[in-house]
A and B are shown apart, each in its own frame.
Chain A
Amino acid sequence: MLATMLAVSFIVFAALEHNIEDVATHVLGQFATADQRHSWLRENGYFDPFLVRYLRWLYGFVSGNWGVSTHFKEPVRALIADYLWQSALLAGLSLLLMVPLALALGVLAGMREGSLLDRAISILSIATTSIPQFASAVFLSVVFVFWLGLLPGASAMTSGFEWKEMVMPVMVLTLAGAGYLARMTRASMVEVMASPYIRTAQMKGASFARIVLRHALRNALVAPVTVIMLYIPWLLSNVIVVEAYFGYRGFGTLIYTASLQHDVYLIEAGTMVAVIAVVGTQLLSDLANVWLNPRVDFATPVSTKATL
């Protein structure tokens, strides 16, 4: 895992700083003269061999020295901490809404395979997963913002934190994510309901509610619960679109602005933080799987089986 992180850091650094002329242009602006760029590059050690520069950057990252953002003119570390917190709030709220909703729908659909309720939930979840976030943001905006006028269409929070402005982004993220989780839960539930021990319970004369709640649920939820962890990387990707759409000032907007402004140091550190989050959640999801399912084989981690 450490090797993966090192490889990632090398790729990020190589992609963004392979051309030092570009770095100088992005840092000093388009109107700097060639001489200015040249002396800036020399002062900051950019004429050293590539590997030396990489190692110096890596040391800087590990020791918490992430440079100064060229666009925001602020230290990168403070910026990321600030914006990441906003995104964590957004992502946390949507997970809080999405997980119970998706698990409940999945269990309801999967407990009687092929029933009308199952069909309806399956169609709904296919439809919601098919709509890209920017499109569902548009549809929801048209209904709730333009027609009904209930909610604000942007979430820039310019005048302090406003709960109302959270509703739209949270709704879009929840809608987009719930479908996949519901379908997974359904598949898992269907499989469990067809297993011999459920038939035993039926023949014992246990009521349907008891079978579902006492016997099926625990086993059916193992697969979906381990997948929930993988939603964190998914959210890190998807907040970019949602935040950009609603102008919400979170991690996604930060990375997006950084890329539009060619803010090299901010992109580098932001990517590294995102990758650390992804690798960390993969580890957690493997641990959760071991904890929930004692029969797990240690050779194949879940994170390699399921990919959102």
Chain B
Amino acid sequence: MRLLAAALRSPAAVLGLAIVAVFLFVSLFAPFIAPYDPLKTIAPLQLPGASAPDGGHFWLGTDLLGRDILSRMIYGTRTVLLWSTIATAAAFAAGVLAGLLAGYFQGVTDTVMSFLANTLLSFPVMVLYIIIITSFGASGTNIVVAVGFGSAPVVFRITRALVMDVRERDYVAAAITQGESHLAVMLREILPNVTTPLIADLCLRLGYTAITIGVLGFLGLGLPPPTPDWGSMAAEGKAMAIAFPHMVIFPCVAISLLMLGLSLLSDGLREAAKRQVRT
């Protein structure tokens, strides 16, 4: 919290937080904000602002199947935020745990885990995602698995380097000499001292995951239809982009904005963390 307060002294970080907060709000209250059912066919290929049969308006138009784009975008926020949070959390849980163990015990544990991480990192990320999703099919769970395999090794490396640094400190040596268990030293002495840089990375990685989900959706490897998902909306709209550019533009704007918000916030957090270390 103090870190967040420190980060918010920069106007860019405030803007970032505001953008993220708006998306969060929209996703939480989607059923109250969305004017129509995102899956219901109403009137196909309406332009933005066209009036709806029930007297309302399709502010962002409708898609090929006659579904209201605004409502699909609003529910799509839910899809993106939900799955990217789950996937990022899974990647972080695995990466931080492995990094903590490798950095603390070092030796064989470290050698084995670093080898595994290096192996996974030698795949170009998209190729890794494609292999996983082709072999196991496209579903939310498999997206989590794919992102986990793609991101956990990076989180592992960051955590491991941080832990190795902290482990040499006197207070860790003191705790070990006092006879505290390995688990207690790791959780009480080391973990709290590595969280700050990890939080900044968490923010950025959340954005990367959102993009990944968008890209997979765009390539037709994401969540199966009719789930409203920005990536697949953009892909559906792409075929008709010449006549109806609105179908493809809005989802693209949304995902870019979300990523922008998260990277601004992450930048602010990282700067604040640096300042904290200095003082």
Contact = CB atoms under 8 A, between A and B. Distances in A.
A3 B130 contact: no
Interface in A249-263: 252, 255-256, 259-260, 262
Interface stretch (A54-62, A127-135, A207-215): A127-135
Interface stretch (B62-70, B170-178, B245-253): B245-253
A236 B115 contact: no
Q: How large is the interface on A (under 10, 10 to 19, 20 to 34, 35 or more residues)?
A: 35 or more
B215 interface: yes
Interface in A156-175: none
Given A15-B131, A16-B131, A262-B134, A132 B214 contact: yes
Contact of B263 (A130, A153, A256): A130
Interface stretch (A107-115, A190-198, A274-282, A287-295): A274-282
A227 interface: no
A134 B231 contact: yes
B134 A259 contact: yes
Contacts of B121: 307
B220 A260 contact: yes
Interface residues of B, number: 45
A195 B219 CA distance: 47
Interface string B243-276: 0010011001101100110011001000000000
B123 A241 contact: no
B248 A132 contact: no
Contacts of A270: 127
Interface in A227-246: 233-234, 236-238, 240-241, 244-245
A25 interface: no
B234 interface: yes
B111 to A, nearest CB: 11
Contact of A134 (B12, B123, B234): B234
Nearest to A271: B127
A contact face: mostly helix, strand, loop, or mixed: helix
Contact of A275 (B123, B242, B255): B123
A14 to B, nearest CB: 9
Contact of B252 (A12, A134, A252): A134
A142 interface: yes
B219 A267 contact: no
A225 B157 CA distance: 22
B23 interface: no
Nearest to B207: A130
A20 to B, nearest CB: 13
Contact of A240 (B12, B130, B214, B263): B130
B154 A307 contact: yes
Given A4-B118, A4-B119, A130 B124 contact: no
Given A135-B255, A275-B123, A126 B264 contact: yes
A274 to B, nearest CB: 5
Nearest to B149: A11
A151 to B, nearest CB: 13
B5 interface: no
A3 B115 contact: yes
B135 interface: yes
B218 interface: yes
Contacts of A245: 238
Contacts of B215: 132-134, 241
Contacts of B252: 131-132, 134-135, 138-139
B260 A126 contact: yes
B135 A16 contact: yes
B126 interface: yes
A296 interface: no
Given A134-B231, A138-B248, A256-B130, A274 B241 contact: no
A307 B151 CA distance: 11
A254 to B, nearest CB: 11
Nearest to B116: A7
21 contacts: A4-B122, A8-B119, A123-B12, A126-B264, A130-B256, A131-B252, A131-B259, A132-B215, A142-B249, A236-B126, A237-B124, A240-B130, A241-B219, A256-B219, A259-B221, A262-B134, A270-B127, A275-B127, A277-B124, A278-B122, A279-B122
Given A138-B238, A267-B131, 17 more contacts: A4-B119, A7-B115, A8-B122, A8-B123, A16-B134, A132-B215, A133-B215, A138-B249, A142-B241, A237-B124, A240-B130, A240-B219, A255-B127, A259-B131, A259-B221, A274-B124, A304-B118
Interface of A: 3-5, 7-8, 11-12, 15-16, 123, 126-127, 129-135, 138-139, 141-142, 146, 153, 233-234, 236-238, 240-241, 244-245, 252, 255-256, 259-260, 262, 267, 270-271, 274-275, 277-279, 282, 304, 307
